[in-house]
Structures are given as C-alpha cells and as structure tokens.
Amino acid sequence: MLTLTCPIETRWHPVPAGAKLIGLAAATLLVVALRTPLAVSAGLVVAALVYLAEGVGFARHGLRMLRPLWPFVAVLAIWHGVTGALADGVVIGARMLTAVALANLVTMTTRLDDMIAVVERAAQPLARLGLAPRTLAVAIALMVRFTPVLFEKYGRLGDAWKARCARRANWRLVLPGLLVALDDADHVAEALRARGGL
Amino acid sequence: MERNVSHIALFAALIAVLGLVPKIDLMSGVPITAQTLGIMLAGTVLGARRGALAVLLFLLLAALGLPILSGGRGGLGAFMGPSVGFLVGFPVAAFIAGLIVERWRVSIGIAALAGSLIGGIVVLYAFGIPGMALILGKTLPEAALLATPFLPGDLLKAVLAALITRGVMVVRPAALMSRP
C-alpha cells in the first residue's frame, strides 16, 4: 500500500526516526507557545522555508498534505471576519497550519518501517503489562497486509453489486464486507495457531 | 489469543477500508465516509476491550504514516489538526459501545443502537468538541455549533451500525464476540 512518505529525497530522510519525533515534540511545544500574530506568522514562514529548502516539488507535495485544513481555515476566516477579531484568527489559523506542517514533515520524510521500529522499541516496557513485543509486531504486520486485501475484496463486492443492480450499494456492502473480515480473521487465527501460535 | 489478535488486526484494517471506499450520500448531498461506522461496529461486534484495541491499532498505523483516516488523510499531522479530539475519542467510543452491548442483555439490535448512540456520538463528541475548541480557539458552545453538521450523518450511522450488528448476529452468531 502507498504510504505518505514522500519519494523526493530530502536532508531529513537519513535522520533517525526517533530523533525526528523528539525534535517534532519540541518544535510543537514551541509553536503552541507562540501568542502574537507576528511570532506566529514568523513560525509559519520558517515552516514554509524548511519545505522550500527541499525544492518546489517537495513544497508543493507538502501543501497538498495540508488540504484537509482548508475548510477549517475558511471557517476561521469567516468567523473572525464577522466578529472583527482578525488578529486572533490569524494567530489560531497560522499556529494550526504550522503545527500540522511540521508534523507532516516528519511523516513525509520517514519510512513506515522506521516508524514501526521506533514504536516496537518504545513499546518494550509494555511487555510487563502483558503486551508481548511479538504480539504487537504480528498485529501491526497483519493490519498493514490486510488493509489492501480487504480493500480489494470490498471492491469486488461492489463490482458484484453493480453487475446486478443499477442503484448505488452505499451501506448495503458494509455487512458482507464485515463478514469477509471476520472470516479472514478466523482463518488467520487458525494459520497462526498451526504455525506454533503467538 | 491468536483469535483475539487476528480479529483486532483485521477489524483495524476494516475501519481503514470503510474510511476509503463507500461514500454514503446524505440527502443534503454531503458525502460522508463510513469510518465512524467502523468505530461503532468495532465496539458492538468485537466487544469493549477488543474493539478499543482494534481502534488503537488503526490509529497507531494512521499516525505512523498510512493514509487511512477518512478521505485518505494520515500521518502525524492529522493528530495536530482540529479533528484530534475525535481521533482521541475513537477508542473510547468503541469501548463504551462494546461495553453497552456486552452488559445490557436486551435484544442485540437495541443494545447495539444504544451503544452506537452513546459511544459513537455522545462519548465521541465529548472528546471531539473540546478538541476543536482547543485547536480553533473557540469556546465549547461555539465548537459544538461547528460540529453539528456531522450530527445527522452520525445518527444515520448509529442506526446502520445497529442493523449491521443484528445482521451479524443473524448470519454468523459465533462471530459476534461482544455476545459470546
């Protein structure tokens, strides 16, 4: 399955995932602490420059990753336009964009495998609470593997529906899709047990 | 043990698929994805603990960089945006929905409807609205106002979750782990 990692190599790609996550946490705390319109705008400009330093293509990719935020930016603009507290709106909007952009930067420059490795290392103390590292690893691997599998099977259910009916399937596919997932889960459980269990 | 892990993982995958494929069109023409339907079903079908763990696994992989949140979003940025409260509330919502189905021994359809309404709407909004208020710098009533457009869709999804859970009970009673 496609991940959100950006194929354009940047100077951030070789940095270890753990270091990037710690850096992101620090940067986010800093961004959230910004209060004045000037400081927040400066933060947004810095974030934009960090993206642009990796080239226009990368920056454009980063801008696409911010797309889900535009409706909220629009809501903020209208809201603060009506109430007249525009400076507050700028602070809130720019702070949100900066925080999300910085977080996206880590996601875009870190491979999924490296992220999973960090999580598995960080989760090791959980073994004492009964979550064995191997169990977590198996669960993550199963989820990553079966998302495209279920996606395809769901698509096939949709095709079968379209072949028989002109109306749209909408929610009527959810129950058969759910049954496919539950049956697959039973088969996987049997297969795991047959291979020595967890 | 194997059965628990495989059901948690497969359900996490199903929640991801539901966020990507079937667009349900509301009468207003606003397309809504079935992702929160998946959250409700995780609780009502798998039960409280397994349901919440399935949702946690789904969120973990979304945070790590799979584009599986509704509309193909994902990554750490999604957890910095205005919907962070809803994301945090997802596992709690599934847990409460599952708890109600497990403990309230009425017919499965009614229990699942109550679980979906209370878990998937009341509890979820109790997390989601403060999250929006925090990120967008609004008061709680103002944030609640911003969240109301999603309410009709979520009510519809709670009804669907109840119907689908009852469907599982009818065609595959052994698979309904919330009612062993």
Among A24, A135, A192, whose Cβ lies nearest the Cβ of B76?
A24
- Cα–Cα distance for residue pair A77/A94, rounded to 1 Å: 11
- Cα–Cα distance for residue pair A111/A99, rounded to 1 Å: 20
CB contact under 8 A, B137 and A173: no
The complex's ipTM? 0.90
pLDDT of residue A148: 92
In sequence order, what are the beta bridge partners of B32? Answer: B24
Place of tokens 């964009």: A97
What residue type is B118 in one-letter code? I
Average pLDDT of chain B, as a whole number: 90
* Chain A CA closest to residue B6: A185
N-term to C-term CA, chain B: 15
Average pLDDT of chain A, as a whole number: 91
pLDDT of residue A102: 95
Per-domain boundaries in chain B: 2-175
What residue type is B20 in one-letter code? L
Cβ contacts of A65 within 8 Å, gap of 6 or more: A4, A101, A104, A107, A108, B75, B77
Could you tell me where the DSSP H helices lie in chain A? 17-33, 37-52, 56-65, 70-83, 86-108, 112-122, 133-164, 174-194
The model's pLDDT over A86-111, given as tens digits with 9 standing for 90+, comes to 888 999 999 999 999 999 999 999 99
| B80 close to A100: Cβ distance less than 8 angstroms | yes
- Cα–Cα distance for residue pair B45/B35, rounded to 1 Å: 15
CB contact under 8 A, A4 and B25: no
Looking at 3.20.20.80, 1.10.3720.10, 1.10.1760.20, 2.60.40.10, the CATH number of the domain B2-175 comes to 1.10.1760.20
- B74: alpha, beta or left? (left if phi > 0; alpha if psi -120 to 50): left
CB contact under 8 A, B71 and A91: no
Among B14, B67, B146, whose Cβ lies nearest the Cβ of A4?
B67
Could you tell me where the DSSP H helices lie in chain B? 2-20, 35-46, 48-64, 84-103, 108-117, 124-136, 140-147, 151-171
Q: What are phi and psi of B25, to 5 degrees?
A: -90, 125
pLDDT of residue A68: 86
The model's pLDDT over B43-59, given as tens digits with 9 standing for 90+, comes to 999 999 999 999 999 99
The model's pLDDT over A115-133, given as tens digits with 9 standing for 90+, comes to 999 999 999 998 888 888 8
Tell which B residues from 86 to 125 touch A, by Cβ distance under 8 Å.
none
